[in-house]
């Protein structure tokens, strides 16, 4: 492996791992651009997905109490999300994934851009089990069809006035489960070849260490600060998806 190859792998692992530890989502947004410089797209996605899962397991541990305190809340999102993944994959033959990603990106940019600069954050405190399930299903659907499973759930959770741990107790396991499904599918397709395995030997330790740093910062955030972080991430996700499609 060349020095340039290792350099981009480390940069991607540190950026993706840190944002995963900080927010529980957004790994691909910050890591994929570095990996695509030195890897084929399938290899890059496979590495990001596996690193996201492994880094996400650390995030699960810090909110384990909140997960066990309200398992029904998590399942409202997770079960429909897992159902939505294969549905989204099946839709690839009848829809234009590029146009779908642009539409999703536009929604995220409008939402994130509007609320990022407002002094008062939106707050939707009423229990909405059916809406939660619908959001989970859409997240899985978009994950299968356009590889943006965390975008809509992150947007929805950012307007829920929950504590940062409660929010993460939904977002983190949702992303881990959806991406674990992606990893299994990519493994079956042969994405984890020798090059990918060699790259993982570098990215996994770097990503895990960076995730721990992100978790340290997460612990210092206030509940409001974490909600603002999610809103800012929706804007960045929207800009990132839009840029990847248009440029």
What pLDDT, in 10s, does the model give residues 26-60?
888 788 888 888 888 888 888 888 998 999 999 99
Token readout for 20 is 């995963």
For residue 237, the SS3 value is: helix
Q: Return d(Cα 242, Cα 238) in angstroms, integer.
A: 6
Task: Decide: 176 and 143 in contact? Cβ < 8 Å.
Answer: no
Q: Return d(Cα 227, Cα 31) in angstroms, integer.
A: 22
Q: Return d(Cα 42, Cα 40) in angstroms, integer.
A: 6
Task: Decide: 132 and 80 in contact? Cβ < 8 Å.
Answer: no
pLDDT at 65: 94
pLDDT at 123: 78
pLDDT at 96: 77
Q: Which residues in the chain land under pLDDT 50? A: none
What pLDDT, in 10s, does the model give residues 216-237?
999 999 998 998 998 888 888 8
Q: Distance of CA 157 to CAs 10, 98, 124, 164, 167, Å? A: 31, 25, 9, 10, 6
pLDDT at 92: 66
pLDDT at 147: 67
Q: Return d(Cα 21, Cα 122) in angstroms, integer.
A: 25
Angle ∠(165,68,23) on CA atoms, nearest 5 = 25
pTM of the model: 0.85
pLDDT at 176: 92
pLDDT at 243: 85
């Amino acid at each position: 492996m060349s020095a340039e190859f290792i350099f981009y792998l480390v940069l991607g692992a540190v950026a993706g791992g840190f944002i995963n530890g900080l927010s529980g989502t957004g790994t691909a947004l910050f890591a994929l651009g570095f990996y695509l410089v030195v890897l084929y797209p399938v290899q890059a996605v496979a590495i990001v997905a596996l690193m996201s899962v492994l880094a996400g397991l650390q995030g699960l541990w810090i909110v384990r109490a909140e997960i066990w305190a309200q398992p029904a809340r998590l399942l409202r999102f997770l079960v429909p999300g897992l159902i939505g993944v294969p549905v989204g994959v099946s839709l690839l033959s009848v829809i234009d994934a590029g146009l779908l990603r642009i539409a999703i990106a536009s929604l995220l940019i409008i939402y994130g851009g509007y609320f990022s600069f407002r002094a008062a954050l939106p707050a939707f405190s009423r229990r909405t089990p059916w809406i939660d399930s619908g959001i989970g299903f859409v997240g899985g659907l978009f994950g299968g069809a356009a590889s943006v499973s965390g975008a809509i759930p992150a947007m929805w959770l950012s307007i829920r006035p929950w504590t940062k741990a409660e929010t993460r107790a939904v977002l983190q396991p949702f992303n881990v489960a959806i991406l674990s499904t992606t990893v299994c599918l990519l493994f079956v397709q042969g994405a984890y070849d020798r090059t990918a395995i060699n790259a993982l030997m570098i990215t996994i330790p770097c990503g895990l260490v960076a995730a721990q740093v992100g978790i340290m910062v997460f612990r210092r955030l206030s509940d409001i600060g974490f909600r603002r972080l999610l809103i800012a991430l929706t804007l960045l996700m929207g800009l990132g998806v839009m840029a990847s499609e248009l440029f």
